[in-house]
Amino acid sequence: MKKDVFIVGVKSVFPKIYPSVDVIDKLYSEKLSSAKINKFATRLGSNVQIKNRAISIDLEQFPRMVVPAENSPLLWAGSVIKSFSDTIRKGSKIGFLSVSYNASSHAITLPNLTCQIANQSALDLEYPPEEIVNYGCTSGIFSIQSAVDFCQKNDSLATVFAFEQVSWTFKPLYDEANTNFRASLRTHAIFGDGGAGLLLASGDEAECFDKKLKIIDIKLDYRYGDVIKMEEGTFLTGDGVKDLMPKLVCEHIIKPILQRNGLKVEDVNEWSLHQGGLPVVDSFMDPEILGLSKEQVEISKKMFTEYGNVSTPSNFIVLEQHLNHGKGEIGDYGMIVGFGAGYYFGAALYQHC
């Protein structure tokens, strides 16, 4: 019989927070582009309704790509793992580590980043560390699946760390005649950086924690699509994401996972949705998509306006708010939902215990 696995901790980490308007002004300064493009970009930046964005690169040195030492993914992961290590009982250890991301400034790729994180954090792992790269904004759900598989075989602890440094890929297009100009501008107007980790536990290890989210089910899926892509080193977000993604993720992930667990949409109180943008999140309120209420998408929208689209760790950042500051009670259900480039989709259904 497989063991129950619980999420017993969530911790996020961010680089420097900038007013969103300042980010746009640096990326599309008149010196780099033109007064016309700067004005156009600033107007678009205001329309996406992001107050702040967390950015890893030193914007003062842009277009030189410089990442301050304190924004190393090694340090981010180390700080999150330390915070988890401080909560576990004496004699316990984290036995598995999975790291997921799409964009990283970390240049030393062998041994891979996850090996380096494990070594730096002095983790005595029971299973080889795992690195999941370029699975879009769903990467973290794939890491959760791996951690659950490990914990179901052991009375153990596992850590999942998802991060993103999209700013490291920033390469704005300044030619309005370029067919990818708007797709590039859209990307540079919404994405930010950050990381978040989950601590998972099973068996006796889980008994030590007061707040626990029991993982009920996980579903992963894939359909080919290239609306979100890299082309000639430029990160592009094409048209139609808000019309395409919510429908796909609901039909292929959310509704099937609810059906096989005998649940309806209204049975799930908490939703930790990846925030591809406010129109994307709002689409989940459409009765023909999922019919969520304003309250159910409130935290996802709030985190988007506070930090922008943080890609891979975005749904973990929302989950942190639910776990530490939410209204969840024992028996309440919640769902972590990821979707993005590929297209990869994933969701984890949990219950407060």
Tell which of 154, 188, 206 closes a domain: 206
How do residues 72-98 score in pLDDT, each as one tens digit?
999 999 999 999 999 998 889 999 999
Residues 119 and 253 in one domain: no
Residues 143, 82 within the same domain: yes
Same domain, 332 and 283: yes
Instruction: Give me the mean pLDDT over the 324-347 stretch.
Output: 91
Please check whether residues 249 and 288 belong to one and the same domain: yes
Based on the domain organization, do 188 and 220 belong to the same domain? Answer: no
201 with 231, same domain? Answer: no
State how far the Cα of 34 lies from the Cα of 56, in Å rounded to an integer. 25
Question: Number of structural domains, the chain?
Answer: 2
User: How far, in Å, CA of 177 to CA of 301, rounded?
Assistant: 33
232 and 142, same structural domain?
no
Q: Is the pLDDT score of 34 beyond 70?
A: yes
Cα of 128 vs its chain's centroid, Å: 23
Whether residues 259 and 156 share a domain: the answer is: no
Q: Is this prediction's pTM over 0.75?
A: yes
Q: Are residues 55 and 181 located together in one domain of the fold?
A: yes
Task: Supply the angle between the helices 139-152 and 314-325 in degrees, to the nearest 10.
Answer: 60
- Please write the tens of the pLDDT for every residue from 54-72: 999 999 999 999 999 999 9
Q: What mean pLDDT value characterizes the chain?
A: 93
Please tell me the least confidently modeled range out of 42-46, 73-77, 336-340.
Answer: 42-46
Does residue 336 share a domain with residue 229?
yes
Query: What confidence score (pLDDT) does residue 1 get?
Result: 47
Q: Identify the residue with better confidence: 227 or 162.
A: 162
Mean predicted confidence (pLDDT) in 135-164: 95
Residue 100 and residue 344 in contact, taking contact as beta carbons nearer than 8 Å: no
Domain stops at, among 206, 224, 249: 206
The first and second tokens of residue 26, run together, are 């640096």
Buried b (16+ CB within 10 A) or exposed e, 127-147: bebbbbbebbbbbbbbbbbbb
Its domain, for residue 174, covers 5-206
Q: Does 200 share its domain with 167? A: yes
User: Band of the pLDDT at 10, cuts 50, 70, 90?
Assistant: very high
End of a domain among 182, 206, 230? 206
State the CATH number of the domain containing residue 183. Answer: 3.40.47.10
Same domain for 171 and 40: yes
Task: Name the H helices within 293-342.
Answer: 294-307, 314-325
Q: Is 339 helix (H, G, I), strand (E, B) or coil?
A: strand
- The answer, yes or no, to whether residue 2 has pLDDT greater than 80, is no
Task: Specify the range with the lowest mean pLDDT, choosing from 40-49, 62-71, 306-315.
Answer: 40-49
